[in-house]
């Protein structure tokens, strides 16, 4: 189905810029390039930038997802075509999956997961099940979701929650994106990205952890952390009482200990793995414990929270204040080890294809805000002309385009075409 479509084929016949490109087989009636002959068009080409190619690939995967994803109960087959699209564009021996079920087929259950559960681990599963009705087949997997990195492995021979947290972060991200994408069909990508911010932040997930009472199950070995958890629990419960049930009560509370958010993400991953990669369990958790907070994303508290986030502020500064269109933020796993916390994620800010700012963190959720703050410190207060000079920006907005090309850009307003 997708064999004829790959990044290497994303090349368009066009003039020196993409502004004069028209689809093949279409006759131009007016606009730029009207007087060009067929041979002129054939002899000119324009290759899309890497980011444009990446955007097309990602859009293609999204289209495959939208075509088959249904609003009713999730089924593995709904995502099979999207998996095929990922395989096509990844084009790597590390990603051979052609349907959703191939992911679990490639999963090798670790020994700790399959071991016999102790009385303590069974008791944890029973207590957690009272709050969220999922029955674990492997209670030791659940225990791992509550083991802080400060807890020695030898105490139960169960790893801490870091690997599960890594997976759970992405699973919750998917649930949040699905909710926003279908709840707000008219909103643009920037709005969706900005308003996903409060949903994935530590403040919110920390409040969820306390609401569920799961802070009492964390196995950790740090006196300072115990004090920090206790203080945060008191603060967030007091804020909830003062707000009389308002869903945005958590916004004004101080930052929680990171482990509270980590536990929620690790639990999501634990039920996902225990259920043999059934995304329904993730969706169920979202519907039961998270969705009610975000029925209305236009609440003033959420709007303010989104706009004040450093990543949002940076994007607006560069694209709106400086008028730069060649800007992106990205993150990737590195080989650098953070002591006691695993491999670091590097986040970077690229302007016109060059990395100007970078930083690392335990995950992209922490690295991105960190590098955004670093970039804001350097860029805020710069006049636009200095930004362009310093960072090689030659982006031209529509108003400038009309002035510089003698009104030629005016022809771009209407591309009147018809089939021959």
State mean pLDDT over 211-235: 95
Q: In this structure, what are the phi and psi dihedrals at residue 327, rounded to the nearest 5 degrees?
A: -135, 140
Q: Give me Rg for the CA atoms of the chain.
A: 25
> Average pLDDT in the 138-156 region?
94
Choose from 178-192, 248-262, 279-293 the range with maximum mean pLDDT: 279-293
Dmax over Cα atoms in the chain, in whole Å? 82
Cα–Cα distance for residue pair 61/87, rounded to 1 Å: 10
What pLDDT is recorded for position 111? Answer: 94
Tokens of 226: 């115990």
Residue-wise pLDDT for 101-134, tens only, equals 999 999 999 999 999 999 999 999 999 999 999 9
The per-residue pLDDT for 26 is: 66
Nearest alpha carbon to residue 147 among 265, 261, 263, 225: 263
pLDDT at 22 over 80: no
Tell me which residue has tokens 């634990």.
270
> Please, where are the H alpha helices in 132-257?
139-145, 162-183, 189-200, 202-212, 223-242
Residue 357 to residue 368: CA distance in whole angstroms: 11
Under the banding of pLDDT at 50, 70 and 90, the label for residue 227 is: very high
Average pLDDT rounded to a whole number, residues 352-356: 89
**Is pLDDT above 90 for 237?**
yes
Q: Which of 23, 29, 3, 262 is nearest to 150 (CA)?
A: 262
Name the phi and psi angles at 254, rounded to 5: -65, 165
pLDDT confidence of residue 7? 40
Mean pLDDT of 291-307: 81
Tell whether the torsion through CA atoms of 169, 161, 345 and 54 is positive or negative: negative
pLDDT over 60 (residue 201): yes
Q: Give residue 45's pLDDT.
A: 60
The span from the CA of 254 to the CA of 260, in Å, is 13
| Residue whose structure tokens are 């994620």 | 345
User: pLDDT at residue 287 above 50?
Assistant: yes
Mean pLDDT of 143-159: 93
Residue 410 CA to residue 31 CA, distance in Å, equals 9
Q: Which domains, from first to last, does the chain contain?
A: 7-105 (no CATH), 111-306 (1.10.1520.10), 310-394 (3.30.160.20)
- Asked if pLDDT for residue 13 goes beyond 60, the answer is no
Contact 125, 133 (CB under 8 A): no
pLDDT of 292 strictly over 70: yes
Structure tokens at 344: 């670091």
What is the average pLDDT score of the chain?
82
What does the pLDDT read at residue 413? 30
- What pairing do the DSSP bridges indicate for beta strands 354-361 and 417-418? unpaired
pLDDT for the residue 10: 39
Residue 398's pLDDT band (boundaries 50, 70, 90)?
very low
Q: How many CB atoms lie within 10 A of CB 93?
A: 6
Alpha-carbon distances, residue 68 vs 72, 76, 301, 334, 393 (angstroms): 12, 10, 35, 34, 41
- Distance of alpha carbon 233 from the chain centroid: 28
75 vs 344, higher pLDDT = 75
Q: What is the pLDDT of residue 17?
A: 45
Note the pLDDT of residue 411: 32
Beta bridge partners of 331: 347
Greater confidence (16 vs 120) lies with 120
Q: What is the mean pLDDT of residues 284-291?
A: 96
pLDDT in tens, 27-84: 667 766 667 666 665 565 656 667 778 888 889 899 999 888 877 789 999 999 999 9
In this structure, of 92-96, 103-107, 253-257, 359-363, the range with the lowest mean pLDDT score is 359-363
Does pLDDT of 402 surpass 70? no
Q: What tokens were used for 311?
A: 């990543």
pLDDT at residue 4 in the model: 35
Is the predicted pLDDT of residue 21 greater than 70, yes or no?
Answer: no
Tokens standing for 25? 């087989």
Does residue 168 surpass a pLDDT of 60? Answer: yes
Per-residue pLDDT, 268: 98
Q: Exposure string (b/e) for 203-231, b if CB count within 10 Å is 16 or more?
A: bbbbbbbbbbebbebbbbeeeebeebbee
Q: Average pLDDT for residues 221-238, to the nearest whole number?
A: 94
């Amino acid at each position: 189905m997708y064999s004829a479509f790959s990044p290497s084929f994303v090349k368009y016949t066009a003039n020196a810029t993409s502004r004069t490109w028209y689809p093949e087989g279409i006759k131009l009636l007016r606009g730029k390039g009207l007087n060009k002959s067929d041979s002129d068009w054939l002899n000119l080409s324009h290759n899309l930038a890497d980011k444009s190619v990446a955007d097309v690939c990602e859009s293609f995967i999204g289209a495959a997802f939208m075509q088959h994803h249904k609003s009713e109960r999730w089924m593995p087959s709904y995502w099979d075509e999207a998996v095929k699209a990922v395989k096509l564009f990844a084009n790597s021996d590390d990603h051979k999956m052609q349907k959703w079920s191939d992911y679990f087929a490639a999963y090798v259950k670790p020994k700790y997961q399959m071991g016999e559960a102790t009385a303590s681990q069974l008791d944890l599963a029973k207590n957690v099940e009272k709050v969220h009705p999922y029955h674990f087949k492997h209670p030791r997997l659940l225990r791992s979701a509550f083991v802080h990195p400060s807890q020695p492995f030898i105490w139960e021979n169960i790893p801490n929650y870091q690997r599960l947290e890594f997976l759970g972060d992405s699973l919750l991200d998917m649930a949040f994106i699905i909710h926003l994408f279908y709840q707000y069909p008219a909103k643009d990508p920037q709005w969706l990205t900005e308003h996903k911010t409060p949903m994935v932040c530590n403040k919110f997930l920390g409040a969820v952890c306390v609401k569920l009472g799961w802070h009492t199950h964390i196995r950790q070995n740090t006196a300072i952390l115990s004090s920090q958890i206790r203080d945060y629990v008191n603060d967030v419960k007091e804020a909830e009482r003062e707000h009389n049930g308002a869903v945005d009560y958590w916004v004004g509370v101080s930052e929680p200990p990171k482990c509270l958010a980590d536990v929620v993400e690790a639990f999501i991953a634990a039920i996902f793995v225990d259920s043999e990669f059934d995304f329904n369990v993730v969706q169920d958790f979202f519907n039961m414990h998270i969705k009610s907070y975000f029925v209305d994303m236009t609440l003033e508290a959420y709007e303010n929270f989104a706009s004040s986030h450093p990543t949002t502020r940076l994007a607006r500064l560069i694209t709106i204040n400086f008028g730069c269109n060649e800007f992106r933020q990205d993150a990737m796993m590195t080989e650098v080890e953070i002591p006691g916390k695993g491999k670091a994620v590097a986040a970077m800010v690229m302007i016109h294809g060059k990395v100007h700012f970078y930083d690392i963190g335990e995950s992209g959720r922490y690295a991105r805000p960190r590098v955004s703050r670093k970039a804001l410190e350097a860029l805020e207060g710069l006049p636009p002309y200095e930004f362009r000079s310093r960072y090689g920006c030659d982006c031209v907005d529509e108003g400038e385009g009309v002035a510089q090309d003698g009104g030629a850009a005016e022809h771009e307003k209407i591309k009147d075409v018809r089939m021959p």
